[in-house]
Amino acid sequence: MICTCSIVPPKVLRRFARDKRLSTRERKAFADAIEYEKQWRKLRAVHTELSAASSRLERGAAPPAPKVTVFNCKHGTTLPGVPVAAPGNDATSKRAFAETTAVAAFYELLFDRNSVDDEGKTLMSSVHFSVDYNNAFWNGTQMVYGDGDGNIFLDFTKASDVIGHELTHGVTQFSAQLEYSDEPGGLNESVSDVFGSMFRQWRRDETVDKADWLIGKEIIGPGAKARGFECLRDMSNPAAKHCLAPQPTHFSDFRPGMDPHESSGIPNLAFHDAAVAIGGYSWQKAGMIWYKALTAFGPQPNMKMKAFAQRTRKVAKSLFPRDARTFAAVDRAWAAVGL
């Protein structure tokens, strides 16, 4: 699994790097983000191979709960940066600490998972990375957050779903180990959106009918809003014009080589429709089904979308054998997107 694992897709970065309506500094911020991405790909590949190797080792005694640490890059690019005393001395480091701690609680309380690796891995975050850095990413071992340029994007710690999304890439890395290309790549991105959105709803105590299902709403800056953009992605309507990164909504639109940030719209819509049809809180049934489908069957790096859809159908029956309504909701949601 070579995981890009950033919240803003390369296509969006390239668009704004060429946008003459932006200042030279703003365009450079997007161009720099593209260059950093190329380097992180190589590092993530190494960390993922190590994760795969460690998953084959025999587990020892029950590990402790994960520590949460925050570092300040002070607008440099050397990781992890300078240690910050929790919960930090500025708003960004405080948010990184609080939301990461909450993600750990989310996975422990709802899914009985001890950190991203289920072994108590320390959850490390680095904030104030680079200058006007327009992204946030999981690099295979820790989280990194940019401050945004203040126009198109704001501080990436402002969005709880972004933090949940990126840390879920760690969960995938230590469980299904989905590759980051073609159909497995789309699934990889989708489960991060699914659990990122679920985490945001959990933090807000929102039922499925109250949630807006937008991804990255809180990091959209005034310049992006002035152009009519409201979010990065919309799980309820992936092709919507208010999305910075609109996506296909049916498997018939999938093409080999499609960016995982695009193809993830297909399983994203399936989860949304299943969760809404089931009702209540997304994590109570739909979330449990998706979590078990992702984590309970060992590494399957080349899993296709149809195979994942079939797995969720089987898991729905095994987890809720007397609940035909839940199975029907999952089945119809996948059928509606061509799977």
Lowest-pLDDT range of 17-31, 60-74, 214-228, 246-260: 60-74
Name the catalytic one among 166, 183, 189, 262.
166
pLDDT at 292: 98
pLDDT at 34: 86
Output the six-digit token pair for 178.
């989905």
For the residues 309-324, what does the mean pLDDT come to?
98
Contacts of 313 by beta carbon, 8 Å cutoff, 6+ apart: 327, 330, 331, 334
**pLDDT band at residue 37 using 50, 70 and 90 as cut-offs:** low
What stretches of 233-296 show up as alpha helix (H) in DSSP? 260-263, 265-278, 286-295
pLDDT at 1: 46
Q: State the burial class of residue 61 (Cβ atoms within 10 Å of its Cβ: 0-12, 13-18, 19+).
A: exposed
| Residues 268, 194 contacting (CB under 8 angstroms) | yes
Q: What is the mean pLDDT of the chain?
A: 92
d(CA 144, CA 149): 16
Domains and their CATH numbers in the chain: 10-55+62-169 (3.10.170.10), 182-336 (1.10.390.10)
Catalytic (active site) residue 261: yes
pLDDT at 61: 63
CB-CB neighbours of 122 under 10 Å: 11
| Residues 316, 326 contacting (CB under 8 angstroms) | yes
| Residues 275, 207 contacting (CB under 8 angstroms) | no
pLDDT one-digit tens code per residue, 99-155: 999 999 999 999 999 999 999 999 999 999 999 999 999 999 999 999 999 999 999
For the residues 255-264, what does the mean pLDDT come to?
96
Contacts of 339 by beta carbon, 8 Å cutoff, 6+ apart: 251, 266, 267, 270, 305, 306, 309
For the residues 67-75, what does the mean pLDDT come to?
96
For the residues 157-177, what does the mean pLDDT come to?
97
For the residues 187-214, what does the mean pLDDT come to?
98
Half-sphere exposure of residue 58: CA atoms within 13 angstroms, side-chain side = 2
Contacts of 205 by beta carbon, 8 Å cutoff, 6+ apart: none
d(CA 332, CA 325): 10
pTM: 0.93
pLDDT one-digit tens code per residue, 271-308: 999 999 999 999 999 999 999 999 999 999 999 999 99
Catalytic (active site) residue 166: yes
d(CA 120, CA 236): 33
Name the catalytic one among 47, 128, 165, 261.
261
For the residues 28-44, what does the mean pLDDT come to?
73
Q: State the burial class of residue 24 (Cβ atoms within 10 Å of its Cβ: 0-12, 13-18, 19+).
A: exposed
Q: Does residue 55 have a pLDDT over 80?
A: no
pLDDT one-digit tens code per residue, 203-233: 999 999 999 999 999 999 999 999 999 999 9
